[in-house]
Amino acid sequence: MRVVLAEDLFLLRDGLVRLLEAHDFEIAAAVESGPELARALAELEPDVAVVDVRLPPTHTDEGLQCALRARRDRPGLPVLVLSQHVEQLYARELLADGSGGVGYLLKDRVFDAEQFVDAVRRVAGGGTAMDPQVIQQLLSRRAGDDQPLSRLTPREREVLELMAQGRSNAAIAGQLVVTERAIAKHTSNIFTKLDLEVSDDDNRRVLAVLAYLDQGR
């Protein structure tokens, strides 16, 4: 699986290269600036891009904007964005096109090798990997609104948060130590209460939930 990596801090970039190579990823390019990232994505057509939000020369959201442009040119290009802080705007922009293969993680997650590598693989496979802190903020921001989200029980909100991270029903059941059948019932209730059509496709299900949580911002 070929990866284009963009990170301006040398030590972190080198560490990520070593980590990914140790887990059988091929590093097609490891770059440190927005222009280099744009060229690499256009010329190398990687299986997944791992991109720091803030890159030279602007040090604002150069990395994110390069990734978004690349996804417009190549719809469905898997992109995992890394950020130092929770920025809901970045999550919204990344999810705006409604297709899969997207992730948003805080850089702290990189230090959990298993979690980070799992996120890269999930995104590369067309899934979604959203940082739990981002999801918690989205949920809390909408919880006080007079919206269907307020209809959810505490357990359903817990399940929804794990769904939004990209977890399957089996994974959620294991996390909450309940049966998979119980999770299936919770997810059915969630979709009903959020007026969302139930789908067997995990990725479309996650994106639908995230799109709902983000509407009306």
pLDDT tens-digit series, residues 79-132? 999 998 877 677 777 777 666 788 889 988 888 899 899 999 999 998 888 887
Q: Which pLDDT belongs to residue 92? A: 73
Higher pLDDT, 138 or 83: 83
CB 27 within 8 A of CB 21: yes
**Can you give the pTM of this predicted structure?**
0.76
Task: Compute CA distances 216 → 94, 100, 148, whole Å.
Answer: 17, 21, 13
Instruction: Calculate what percentage of the chain has a pLDDT beyond 90.
Output: 47
Q: Which pLDDT belongs to residue 199? A: 57
Question: How high does pLDDT run on average in the chain?
Answer: 84
**Strand order, beta sheet including 48-52:** 26-31, 2-6, 48-52, 79-83, 102-106, 128-130
Q: Which pLDDT belongs to residue 187? A: 86
Q: How far apart are CA 86 and CA 207, in angstroms?
A: 19
Q: Which domains does the chain have, with CATH numbers?
A: 2-130 (3.40.50.2300), 134-214 (1.10.10.10)
Token pair 């269907």 is found at 148
